[in-house]
Amino acid sequence: MGVKQLGIVGQSVKRRDGIGHVTGQTQYVDDVFYTGMLWLKMVRSPISRGIIHGIDTSKAEAFPGVVTVVTAKDVPNNWYTILCLIGVEPNDEPVLAHEEVMYFGEPICAIVAETEAIAAEAAGLVKLDIEELPPVLDMEFAISPDAPAIKKWGNNTFMYDGYNHRKLRFGDFEKAIQQADHVIEGDYSLSPIEHAPIETHCCVVKPEPDGRLTVHSNTQALYFTMDNTAIILQVPSQRLHMIGGTVGGGFGGKVDVITEPITCIAAMKTGRPVKWRWTREEEMRKSSTRAGVKMHYTDGVMKDGRIIARKVRSLEDSGAYHRHSPYGVQKHMANLPGPYTIPNVWVDAYCVYTNRQPSSAMRGFGVTEATFAVECQMERIARTIGMDSWEIRLINAYRNGQMRPVRKVVEDATLIETIQAAAELIGYELPAHLKAMSSDDYAGNGGHHG
């Protein structure tokens, strides 16, 4: 069998959209304009947690240039449904809040007007009667017995198979940690991160004479957005003509199906094209973020550098609602041990709810945070036992044929070869015994290469 020829690796590849970007010819959603187009502005919660007793839109509706107001009663299925498509329930986030608010900036109602300026001014005329409640803003407090339950199911975590966290057990951690020559602990944390796309969230919807809706969106996931929008609108998906293309920057932040349902409802209600463009402040303070995470590692390490036990407790801040966080924590849990052969593993990963803006997808979310902590811990181990950083990784790197803690057999590791190539690339001379290692030399020695 011939060797497969690679035609891209090592070569410069011309971007398909590059010329359009640098010459200013690329059309973004914010460039879309229709005659008679209306503008939408959102009225948002001024507090982090509270009970809604009343929403008075009368002054806004009477303001010159305002065409309509969209409230929760206008939403056919008032739930964000982005996880129900993969079987994650219960639905917990309304499209528009009407009973309670759970984070500062939560959407309550939308003003639709002739101009963006009129919509913005009228939004300030909506009178909100909200009884403020003490917010839960700290993850450790959220899972403590003293915290009020902010979720309707009675606690402040997502429930995995009846447990308030996702468990991973492999081998016997408690026995192994007693046998270790060193017990090395480390705390690692990451703050929430905003994606900061150049183009903010933007959606334009035009109602067509045949009853369809033409939806221009800078979503990262066009079909996913179509399916969820159809579920929220309670219409057949073929009624939505989705036009995507240029995202204007996303990085995971434009998969939450936030703008499309409300803009569609506004267009259906008015019979006119409607545009909703987020301000930079909305993008920074109201859109989903990468989750804040706190991780604590306890490792049992032998004098020769073998990690024989690893225990991790991780708290990931979902913010007020699910979004994609329960799925992210699932990936997070699987990657917290790292790409290393550790025969005894104990992981507790919590998806914690607080009264912060929801977190969601961002560039390998769940995995990236775990990788950061794992590699910081590997450096801590190397320094503590006085071993070279390269060697500590190569000794523990997983090999083909080994079982990972998630019960998956490693089939194509290439981690050792990648580390060796990285050392060569930067001119670092590995000792001969490390150069001789291979991902195929698994000896089955207690889960480690001997």
In sequence order, what DSSP letters do the residues of 403-445 get, joined into one string? BPTTS-B-S---HHHHHHHHHHHTT----HHHHT--TT----B
Amino acid at 448: H
- Residue 36 CB-half CA count within 13 A: 8
Domain range list for the chain = 166-193+289-435
CB atoms within 10 A of CB 450: 9
pLDDT of residue 6: 67
Instruction: Say how far residue 247 (Cα) sits from the centre of its chain.
Output: 17
Average the pLDDT over 227-241 and give the result. Answer: 97
For residues 317 and 139, the answer to whether their CB atoms sit within 8 Å is: yes
Q: How confident is the model at residue 450 (pLDDT cuts 50, 70, 90)?
A: very low
Does the pLDDT at position 448 exceed 60? no
Distance CA 431, CA 391 (A): 9
CATH label, 166-193+289-435, candidates 1.10.3210.10, 1.10.10.10, 3.30.365.10, 3.30.479.30: 3.30.365.10
Q: What is the mean pLDDT of residues 429-433?
A: 96
The three-point CA angle 193-194-195 to 5° equals 115
pLDDT score of 267 more than 60: yes
Give the pLDDT confidence of 390-409 residue by residue, as tens digits.
Answer: 999 999 999 999 999 999 99
Euclidean distance between CA atoms 300 and 102, whole angstroms: 41
Mean pLDDT check: name the lowest of 56-65, 80-89, 292-301, 418-427. Answer: 80-89
In this predicted structure, which of 66-70, 84-88, 222-226, 262-266 has the lowest mean pLDDT?
84-88
Structure confidence at residue 5 as a pLDDT band (50, 70, 90) = low
**Each residue's pLDDT tens digit, 275-327:** 999 999 999 999 999 999 999 999 999 999 999 999 999 999 999 999 999 99
In the predicted model, what is the mean pLDDT of residues 426-435?
A: 96
Across the range 156-180, mean pLDDT stands at 97
- Determine what percent of the chain is predicted with pLDDT higher than 90: 91
Give the amino acid at 322: H
Question: What does pTM read for this prediction?
Answer: 0.93
Q: Is the pLDDT of residue 447 over 60?
A: no
Q: Got the DSSP string for 1-58? A: -PPPPPSSTTS----TTHHHHHTT-PPPGGG---TT-EEEEEEE-SSSSEEEEEEE-H
412 residue type, one letter: D
Where residue 2 falls among pLDDT bands split at 50, 70, 90? Answer: low
Average pLDDT over residues 355-361: 96
- Banded model confidence at residue 449, pLDDT cuts 50, 70, 90: very low
What does pLDDT average to over the chain? 95
Tell me the chain's radius of gyration from C-alpha atoms. Answer: 26
Q: Which amino acid is at 55?
A: I
For residue 444, pLDDT over 50 is answered with: no
> Is the pLDDT confidence value at 369 over 80?
yes
Determine the residue type at 88. Answer: V
For residue 49, the model assigns a pLDDT of: 98
What is the average pLDDT across 34-59?
A: 98
Confidence bin at 3 (pLDDT 50/70/90):
low
Q: Which long-range contacts (CB under 8 A, 24 or more apart) does 137-141 make?
A: 137/48, 137/354, 137/355, 137/356, 138/354, 139/292, 139/294, 139/315, 139/317, 139/350, 139/352, 139/354, 140/294, 140/315
Q: Residue 31 pLDDT more than 80?
A: yes
